[in-house]
Amino acid sequence: MEQSPSKPINIEASPPPKPEGVKSRVKEWTEKGRNWLAKLWGRTEEAPREVLKEVGDAPDIEEELVSSVDALSQPTAGNSDKEKTEIFSPLAKGEFLKGNMPTLSGEDATKFYEKAEEIYGPVIGSGKWCTVLDSGDNVAKLFNQPDHPYSYYEFVFMKRFGGKAGLPDFKGATVNGYGLEKINGRTLSSLINEATKGFTPDQYRERLGGVISREQAQQLLDNVAEYHRITQRVHGDLATSKGLENIILDEEEKIRIIDTEWEKIGTQTPQSELENLHSWLTNNFKIEGLNLPQTISDEAAEEGLRQFKEEVNDMIVRDSVFKNRVVGFKEDVDVPMVKISDSGDVLIGKHE
C-alpha cells in the first residue's frame, strides 16, 4: 500500500514573555503567597488539622505561575497590530523630528555620536553640557549629559520659547538633543575684542563707542525684558564681565540671545539683570538716553521657574536608584522610537 507523503509540521514558536510583565506577575504571586502563609501560620495553634489539609489541597503554585507567564507570551490583538505597524527608517541627513527628544545611552549612544557628524555636519563648538554641529541653515545641539535633568529643561524650554524674544527658532528633536536655527553673525564679545585689540586702556572706551548703535543697545534691553515676560525667568548668563558672549548681532544687525543658563543662575533677578546691562551699556559704550524697560517681579520669576521645572519633572522618568539621572521622557508625551541597527545606522520608528 502506497503511503502518501507526510506533510511538514509547522511549529510556531511563541514570542518570549515581556520582562516587565513577568516581573509584575511574579510580584503579584509573591504577595499572594505571603498573605496565604501568614493566614495559615495564624491558624496553626487553633486548627492544625485544617491547616495540614489546606496545605495538602493547595494548588501547585509553580505550575500556575508558569501558566500565567505563558499567557503573557501570547500577543493580544492590540499588541500584534502595534508590532505589525512599527516602521523604522534611517535618520536622514540633517533631519529633525516631531515630538519630544528620544534618548539613547551606553553603547547605543556611543554609536549615535560616532554617526552624528555624518548626519548633521561638522562640530563647530563644544562645552561642558553640549556639542554643536553645523547642519547648513540649522545647527544640531547634542547634549553631552543627556541623562541630566538640565538637558530636559533646556529641550522643553527651547521647544516652547524658540523664536521668541530674540531666541533662535526651534527646528525639532533629535536623538539626545535638538535642532535650532543657525544665527549667522558675531557675538558682542567678539565685536568688543576686535574693536579694542591693540589699544591702550585709555583708548578702550573710545573704541567701544562704535561697536553697537544706540538703537541696537535699546533693542538688547527690550529683548531681555521681553524674554523675562515670555519665559517668566531670568536668562542667567548675560554677565557683562564675560563680554556678553551669549548676545549676537546677526547679519541683519538685529540683536539675538542664545544659551539660557540652568546650572548657575545664582541670585540674579530680572531687575538686576536689566539694570546691570543698562549700566554697562551706558558707562562703557557711552550710549546715553537708554530707557530701562519694565520687567517682571522677582517673585514672579522665582515662581515661574519653579512651575516650569515641576511641569518638566512630570514629563520625565527618573532612575529608581540615582534620582538625579533621567531615563527619558514618559512614553505618553510623544517620543519618537529610536534604535541602532546591527550596521550602526540610527533608525527612527513610527506607527502606521
pLDDT in tens, 268-311: 899 999 999 999 888 888 888 999 999 999 999 999 999 999 99
* Per-residue burial over 229-258, b = 16 or more CB atoms within 10 Å of its CB, e = otherwise: bebbbbbbbbbeeeebbbbbbeeeeebbbb
Contact 204, 196 (CB under 8 A): yes
Whether domain 185-307 has CATH 1.10.260? no
DSSP labels, 268-292: --HHHHHHHHHHHHHHHS---S---
Nearest to 101, CA basis, from 170, 171, 138, 155 = 155
Residue 333: pLDDT band with limits 50, 70, 90: confident
Q: What is the pLDDT of residue 11?
A: 33
Give the residue ranges of DSSP H helices in the chain.
19-43, 48-57, 61-73, 77-85, 106-120, 149-161, 188-196, 201-208, 214-231, 270-284, 298-313
Averaged over 129-152, what is the pLDDT?
96
To the nearest whole percent, how much of the chain has pLDDT over 70?
Answer: 72
Q: What is the pLDDT of residue 227?
A: 97
Residue 27 confidence (pLDDT) above 60: no
Q: How far, in Å, CA of 43 to CA of 304, rounded?
A: 59
Beta bridge pairs of residue 115: none
> What is the location of CATH 1.10.510 in the chain?
185-307
Single-letter code of the amino acid located at 308: F
Alpha-carbon distances, residue 56 vs 51, 63, 68, 157 (angstroms): 9, 16, 22, 63
Where does the pLDDT of residue 4 fall: very low under 50, low under 70, confident under 90, or very high at 90 and above?
Answer: very low
Judge whether residue 54 has pLDDT over 60.
yes
Helix (H, G, I), strand (E, B) or coil at 173: strand
Grid coordinates standing for 179?
Answer: 535642532
pLDDT value, residue 244: 81
- Window from 71-75, 228-232, 246-250, 256-260 with minimum mean pLDDT: 71-75
CA distance 128 to 106: 19
| Cα dihedral: 60, 61, 62, 65 (round 10) | 130
pLDDT-derived band at 192 (thresholds 50, 70, 90) equals confident
Dist CA 53 CA 55 (whole Å): 5
**How many angstroms separate the CA atoms of 73 and 14, rounded?**
6
pLDDT band at 352; cut points 50, 70, 90: low
